[in-house]
């Protein structure tokens, strides 16, 4: 997956991502909005063959990169727990 920063400031970031659906973005945004330091977490997906998805995060305090890394780690840990649970039972 290609990710590039479209626009960045101290409290806000716009990231282009070459995903065509919300499978990855939806859980990321759900986790970001749980963070009390996040003011806005949203994504926009335009035409699936023409446009890249755009993730937008604006902070009340802190850096958006830190919030994204934290949310991503939480999601990965959750999926690892799910994987481990399946491996034990199956």
Q: What are the DSSP calls for 16-61, one per residue? A: EE--SSSTTHHHHHHHHHTSTTEEEEEEE---TTT--EEEEEEESS
**What is the pTM (predicted TM-score) of this model?**
0.89
- CATH, range 3-89: 3.30.1360.10
pLDDT digits 0-9 by tens, 27-46: 999 999 999 999 999 999 88
Rounded distance, CA 45 to CA 33, Å? 18
So where are the chain's domains? 3-89
pLDDT digits 0-9 by tens, 51-80: 889 999 999 999 999 999 999 999 999 999
């Amino acid at each position: 997956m290609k990710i590039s920063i479209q626009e960045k400031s101290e409290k806000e970031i716009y990231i282009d991502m070459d995903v065509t659906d919300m499978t990855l973005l939806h859980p990321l945004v759900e986790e970001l909005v749980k963070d009390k330091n996040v003011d806005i977490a949203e994504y926009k997906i335009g035409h699936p063959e023409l446009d890249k998805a755009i993730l937008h995060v604006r902070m009340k305090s802190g850096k958006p990169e830190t919030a994204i890394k934290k949310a991503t780690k939480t999601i990965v840990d959750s999926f690892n727990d799910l994987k481990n649970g399946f491996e034990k039972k199956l």
